[in-house]
Amino acid sequence: MGLARRLTHLATHAHARLYRWTGGRVLGRFGHLEQVLLTTTGRRTGAPRTVPLAATPVGSSVVLVASDGGAPGHPAWYLNLTAHPEVLVQRGRRTVPMLARIAVDPERDALWAAVVKNNPGYARYQEKTAREIPIVVCEPPGPQTRPTPAP
């Protein structure tokens, strides 16, 4: 593991620990952006993996963007939830089991507009990579209607 990757891993781990320890009072927001902790099941190991992510709440759902800063490949958490869509999402002190799914057109287009409005950096990340950045919708289990962002 290279130095930059190792430092990123350590910072992510520290962020998640501090968030969990304070119930999101510390590092639960970056400016106006809500941060959540997403726990997935490792696709190879079966072990729980937790990462802090910026989130866009839409109704009872949480919308996540698998941008990885515009890297050429998908982030590990995204690959994990495509193998195991049952996830845990911690918002503040509350952790909720959810099912993750990948938004597809036309829902993806509407959600992409909402997340870019919430965080314009995502548009820059999309410009940096040839892959279409996936939009992930995490919903409480059970019959759900698809979220539609507010205008």
| Domains present along the chain, CATH in parentheses | 3-139 (2.30.110.10)
The residue that leads in pLDDT, 101 or 4, is: 101
pLDDT for 84-132, tens place per residue? 999 999 999 999 999 999 999 999 999 999 999 989 999 999 999 999 9
What is the phi-psi region of residue 56: left when phi exceeds 0, alpha when psi lies from -120 to 50, beta otherwise?
Answer: beta
- Under the banding of pLDDT at 50, 70 and 90, the label for residue 33 is confident
| Average pLDDT of the chain, as a whole number | 88
Rounded-to-integer distance, Cα 142 and Cα 112, Å: 24
